[in-house]
Structure 1
Amino acid sequence: MQNKVQLIAYVDRLSGADLPALNTLLTTELSGLFSAVHLLPFFYPIDGSDAGFDPIDHQLVDPRLGNWADVKALSEHCDIMADLIVNHASAQSPQFIDVLNYGEKSAYWSLFLKEQDIFPSGITDSQAEAIYRPRPNHCFSAKTLKSGQQVNFWTTFTDNQIDINVEHPEGKAYLEQVLQLFADNGVKIIRLDAAGYAIKRANSSCFMLDETFDFIDALSQRANQLGMETIAEIHSHYQTQIDVAKRVHRVYDFALPPLVLHALSANDVDPLIHWLGIAPRNCLTVLDTHDGIGIIDAGPEGDKSGLLTPSQIDSLVESIHTNSGGQSRLATGAAANNLDLYQVNCSYYDALGRNDFHYLIARAIQFFSPGVPQVYYAGLFAMENDAELLKKTQIGRDINRPYLTPQEVHSRQQKTVVKGLMELIKLRNRHPAFDGEFEVSGGGTSLTMTWSKQDCQIALAVDLASQEASITSSMGDNEKALDLHQLANREAD
């Protein structure tokens, strides 16, 4: 993986069309910005109940977007990252429909995980309480077979996402087929979606068990054999992320987004500096993604303290609601469908109150943090919350999943803050010091982040008390300075 900025995007929501259109966009208007693109689920169908994360056919590119040849064509210009949806498949998949029709006689009966597979005598209340839940629903959904028999299938997320028995030969074969298809069509990086929930054991949390690490390790080794690397996608307590990072290729730094928001809203960089001192170096850094802004990653868990205290978490969440004019409140928790217990749904630009200066500071901090940066397409264009889409779908995360036409993509690039962000992306991609050694210093309201390699150095200095931020860089005798205030207020060309 190149140490340069990557893009995260839905094919249709960014390009306004399909894979060939996205290919054209990345090789023309957005040329030179991104070394890789994470294509959010492009499998059939892209418009299921969870925006493609509930594939009916994980091996079929949605025909509305194109085909595998189009994916391969895009891979000739940048590395492709794709989701291996490890934990589940759609209740509308041919395999599960076959199970409903034929029950235990179905060839796919063992592909899907049932309550009886883990709890032959049925689950007790105490066992159910021990299971780590990403959402407030029960972990099983009763499905009625054609015979009239009712069976409790494991559904970690929604009743339309039926968990796969990844330890059974049928489950292993299912994942192998998808891996092979990825390798054959130019995919270089695999995001292991919801892999932390894949292994279940009675009398456990059924989340990130020792057996889960073994499973992820074996899956990663197989991907390596096929010429691909893997990313573990896990929202959890920050110490879990540190532990996971020691055992996988790369993880996401999901603690960074709330810590940056806290720093800018509370004028307090201490939690951020603490995290930058201990954070995994083998990570992808993000501020926003197709999901909401993770809170659990910076907060406490049980008797384990967090990077932020409960009161700081409460203040942070309220600041997001205030900065977004209450829109994030309408999209978060029980206020909207598809809810998550640990996320606030809001565009990052709105979470910062549409403050261009703060937005560029946030991106600069991300780009200077250890790891490979990813920029979400809505964040690239500093998009506001899509309140109309939320109102239409009543899916909380749609508030930050806008559909952009080619005309909108072009016009948004004329915004000063977007031009400033693109300038920061180019700087992050080109400066050799980012391949060197990292240091962080400061405290209270001031922060300095420095990268050094031989005679090259680049530093970000932020003073929230005086509301100043600048980047100074040197390569040999060539020195430059960039004031982020000027960058945020520079007249559009």
Structure 2
Amino acid sequence: MNTFHKKVFSHLKIIYQHILSDEEINNLTDQIFEITPQVKNDDRLENWNESDIFLITYGDSIVSAKDKKLKTLKKFVDEFIKPHFNNIHILPFFPFSSDDGFSVIDYKKVRDDLGSWEDISLLSKDYRVMADIVINHASKQSEYFQEFIRGSYEYKDFFISLDENEGFEEVVRPRSSDLFQEIEISNQKKYLWCTFSHDQIDLNFKNPRVLLFFIKLIYLYLKHGIKVFRLDAVAFLWKEKSTNCLNLPQTHEVVKLIRTILDHYNQNTLLITETNLPNLENLSYFGNGDEANAIYNFTLPPLLLWTLLMGDSTALRKWSMGMPPAKEHTTYFNFIASHDGIGLRPTENILTDQERGTLIDIVKEFGGVISNRKKPDGTETVYELNIALLDAMKGTFKGIDHMQVERFIACHAIMLSLEGIPAFYIHSVLGTTNDYELMKKNSQNRSINRKSWDINEIKNKLLDDKSINNQVYKSIINLIKIRKTQPAFHPNAIQFTFNLGKNFFGIWRQSLDKKQSIFSVTNVTNIFQYLDLTELNLIESEKWWDIINNKDIDDIKSTIALKAYQTVWITNHK
């Protein structure tokens, strides 16, 4: 029994200790070992560095009448995105029945309107591609579910169906729909578990064939060049009666198993967990450096939004000061906007209920909508804010103003400076605003931020110096160009958060070799503010520059003026 076999067995022993015998666990380990492809080495020496930037996009975010959508997307990103972004997350590209891809009908197929596996492989030659493992549930319209209903042996117990729906009052979930769906199977009444919707039926990981199915799936995706795996909604994976069915030990062990499998195949693969939860629960998916390589930094979007709408960095600063440095071989996955809304659960114990209420009111005033979830006591509360990030930056708590773009760019300048790998939703890069027509058409709040651009229309806007799209695109690309060449912005470079008062957000980053320092300071208000450089403790023997504004710092004991929403990156390494 080699080391890999032993590791897999130990993971399975923890997951199935009350379900399978040791002999059955050993047989399952053998099955996994038999399907494991030959180890594939990679030329890349490290998993990430300061040059790594992710683009998050749907396969149909850019479309044309001439080509299939993945070909159109590649044509567009090759012209406007490369070489600024070297990683691309293509949101679920499989046949689906609802939830814009997250109710999967066939995990092994690329949607016909998007293209084929060949298109994914072509993208993977120029970018490191991230794909979703929609691991918690599958579509009710899938062949997997239909075979389950028909009683097929292969899919027996593949989904969670219960004889009774009592004893689950503590379950925590992100939706307001009923948890259970009543159905008749073989003339017997059953209750299907539906964490997200009644079209998305939860898979039963107590059945080891379900786990084996997803391991085979990961190997299939690796074969087509995918290197980064996003575990969608993984926190809900394992269910036990009389618990909240969230972050259970078996769920964490499944994540560890997948990490072991990926590390064995290729050390340059990445496992990222998507857990939109309160901050400490989210951090738990680092494990002891043996679970996710990176976790979605879900607290960042609502806190950055709050900071810039209120002109007060206090909450962001306190949170940043309390964030632990990521352990070896792990990092944060920083983002501000995504295909989903801006989640409010991560602000629990950071913002008060009143502050969350204020944030909700401002977003609604700026044209956004809200989505609710049902709490265990049956009452509903706001789960997320649905709005294009650019529209969320229309103004402040005082109302709409003329500083939308400046505020928007300041938000991204802060994200780019923080410990972790930065990720941009394509609509943030393109300066896309609320799509009310699509939201109305789909009767889904999240569609407000899921526009599909005609390739010629968006190209014309990006090339038009007078358009807001051009202003946003050029500003973001300029910041990315600067960031990618700074060793002090390595995802694991040292970070220290300053207390510069509520008008500024400031951090110090130092490169891994300690040769470069960058002091990133942003004016989070809509008026001029004066920064006393002595608060940064710049070393007198060094020469200092502001690399964003290309200015020398001649006197390190002086006071400098920062315009509304201006950021400076002051460094000793030009």
- Length-normalised TM-score, structure 1: 0.87
Aligned counterpart, 1:26: 77
Confirm or deny: 8 A CA contact 1:433 1:452 kept in the other structure.
yes
Q: Which residue, out of 439, 442, 465, partners 2:496?
A: 439
Aligned counterpart, 1:142: 182
Aligned counterpart, 2:310: 266
Alpha-carbon distance between aligned partners in 1 of 2:530 and 2:80, rounded to the nearest angstrom: 27
Structure 2 counterpart SS, 1:262: helix
Question: RMSD between aligned alpha carbons?
Answer: 2.6
Aligned counterpart, 1:194: 233
Confirm or deny: 8 A CA contact 2:524 2:565 kept in the other structure.
no
Residue-pair matches, total? 461
Q: Which residue, out of 448, 464, 469, partners 2:524?
A: 464
Aligned counterpart, 1:35: 86
The answer to whether residue 60 in structure 2 is matched with residue 12 in structure 1 is: yes
Give the letter aligned to residue 312 of structure 1. Answer: E
Structure 2 counterpart SS, 1:166: coil
Q: Describe the superposition over 1:75-103 as per-residue Cα deviations: whole angstroms up to 9, x where unpaired.
A: 11110000001111111111211222x23
Alignment of 1:209-248 (within 5 A): 209-227=248-266, 228-247=269-288, 248=291
Alpha-carbon distance between aligned partners in 2 of 1:106 and 1:58, rounded to the nearest angstrom: 20
Aligned counterpart, 2:48: 2
Give the letter aligned to residue 201 of structure 2. Answer: I
Alpha-carbon distance between aligned partners in 2 of 1:405 and 1:351, rounded to the nearest angstrom: 24
Confirm or deny: 8 A CA contact 2:523 2:563 kept in the other structure.
no
Q: Which moved more, 1:451-460 or 1:256-265?
A: 451-460
Alignment of 1:338-353 (within 5 A): 341-353=382-394
Confirm or deny: 8 A CA contact 1:283 1:372 kept in the other structure.
yes
The answer to whether residue 340 in structure 2 is matched with residue 291 in structure 1 is: yes
Aligned counterpart, 1:388: 437
Alignment of 1:84-123 (within 5 A): 84-100=133-149, 102-103=150-151, 105-116=152-163, 122-123=164-165
CA drift of 1:468 comes to 4.8
Confirm or deny: 8 A CA contact 1:2 1:35 kept in the other structure.
no
Aligned counterpart, 1:302: none
CA drift of 1:485 comes to 5.7
Aligned counterpart, 1:53: 102
Alpha-carbon distance between aligned partners in 1 of 2:153 and 2:484, rounded to the nearest angstrom: 52
CA drift of 1:458 comes to 2.6
The answer to whether residue 223 in structure 2 is matched with residue 184 in structure 1 is: yes
Aligned counterpart, 2:122: 73
Alpha-carbon distance between aligned partners in 2 of 1:426 and 1:318, rounded to the nearest angstrom: 36
Alpha-carbon distance between aligned partners in 1 of 2:158 and 2:209, rounded to the nearest angstrom: 5
CA drift of 1:20 comes to 2.1
Structure 1 counterpart SS, 2:108: strand
4+ aligned runs moved over 6 Å, structure 1 = 469-474
Give the letter aligned to residue 494 of structure 2. Answer: E
Q: Describe the superposition over 1:138-161 as per-residue Cα deviations: whole angstroms up to 9, x where unpaired.
A: 22212234x443321111111111
Alpha-carbon distance between aligned partners in 2 of 1:469 and 1:166, rounded to the nearest angstrom: 55
Q: Which residue, out of 188, 206, 210, partners 1:171?
A: 210
Which protein shows a greater Rg?
Answer: 2
Alpha-carbon distance between aligned partners in 1 of 2:528 and 2:158, rounded to the nearest angstrom: 56
Aligned counterpart, 1:133: 173
Confirm or deny: 8 A CA contact 1:381 1:418 kept in the other structure.
yes
Confirm or deny: 8 A CA contact 1:276 1:369 kept in the other structure.
no
Structure 1 counterpart SS, 2:109: strand
CA drift of 1:486 comes to 9.9
CA drift of 1:412 comes to 3.6
The answer to whether residue 473 in structure 2 is matched with residue 430 in structure 1 is: no
Q: Which runs of 5+ in 1 are unaligned?
A: 117-121, 300-305, 489-493
Aligned counterpart, 2:455: 406
Give the letter aligned to residue 548 of structure 2. Answer: L
The answer to whether residue 429 in structure 2 is matched with residue 363 in structure 1 is: no
Aligned counterpart, 1:319: 362
Aligned counterpart, 1:254: 298
Alpha-carbon distance between aligned partners in 1 of 2:427 and 2:130, rounded to the nearest angstrom: 18
Give the letter aligned to residue 448 of structure 1. Answer: G
Structure 1 counterpart SS, 2:182: strand
The answer to whether residue 509 in structure 2 is matched with residue 451 in structure 1 is: yes
Q: Which moved more, 1:427-436 or 1:184-193?
A: 427-436
Give the letter aligned to residue 295 of structure 2. Answer: V
Structure 1 counterpart SS, 2:132: strand
Structure 2 counterpart SS, 1:130: coil
Q: Describe the superposition over 1:205-245 as per-residue Cα deviations: whole angstroms up to 9, x where unpaired.
A: 10101221112111221222233321111011112122233
Change (3 A) 1:466 1:18: closer
- Length-normalised TM-score, structure 2: 0.76
Q: Describe the superposition over 1:176-207 as per-residue Cα deviations: whole angstroms up to 9, x where unpaired.
A: 22111111011111000011111011110101
Confirm or deny: 8 A CA contact 2:62 2:76 kept in the other structure.
no
Q: Describe the superposition over 1:375-413 as per-residue Cα deviations: whole angstroms up to 9, x where unpaired.
A: 001111121100111111111000000011112331342
CA drift of 1:341 comes to 4.7
Alpha-carbon distance between aligned partners in 1 of 2:519 and 2:527, rounded to the nearest angstrom: 17
The answer to whether residue 198 in structure 2 is matched with residue 159 in structure 1 is: yes
CA drift of 1:487 comes to 10
Aligned counterpart, 1:491: none
Q: Which residue, out of 461, 473, 487, partners 1:418?
A: 473
Confirm or deny: 8 A CA contact 1:81 1:191 kept in the other structure.
yes
Confirm or deny: 8 A CA contact 2:507 2:520 kept in the other structure.
yes
Aligned counterpart, 1:276: 320
Alignment of 1:197-208 (within 5 A): 197-208=236-247
CA drift of 1:39 comes to 0.5
CA drift of 1:478 comes to 7.5
CA drift of 1:456 comes to 2.5
Change (3 A) 1:27 1:466: closer
Alpha-carbon distance between aligned partners in 2 of 1:80 and 1:198, rounded to the nearest angstrom: 24
CA drift of 1:340 comes to 9.1
Confirm or deny: 8 A CA contact 1:110 1:170 kept in the other structure.
no
Give the letter aligned to residue 482 of structure 2. Answer: L
CA drift of 1:462 comes to 2.1
